[in-house]
Amino acid sequence: MILLYFNTMSIYLFWILFLSLWAIVPLMIIKGRVDEAPKIQTSPNVKSKKKGWFN
């Protein structure tokens, strides 16, 4: 009886983990694609001149 209970629970646990993996992986891929989008700069970067000894 106990062996049948653990066997049934392991089957349920397998399917829960398997389906959660199928749900999480596409979300991780979509999230990674969103993070790779180029960031648009609204104002240009102004480079300040360095004042050194020979300039």
Give the separation between CA 5 and CA 18, rounded to whole angstroms. 20
In 1-55, alpha helices (H) = 2-35
- CA dist 25 and 31 (Å) reads 10
Q: Are 24 and 17 in contact (CB under 8 A)?
A: no
User: Letter for the amino acid at 22?
Assistant: W
Could you tell me the residue ranges of all domains in the chain?
Answer: 1-37
Over residues 27-48, the pLDDT tens digits come to 888 887 765 566 777 777 777 7
Q: What is the pLDDT, as a whole number, of residue 55?
A: 59
Q: Output Rg (C-alpha) for the chain, integer angstroms.
A: 28
Q: Which two tokens stand for residue 1?
A: 């009886």
- Selected residue with higher pLDDT from 8 and 52: 8
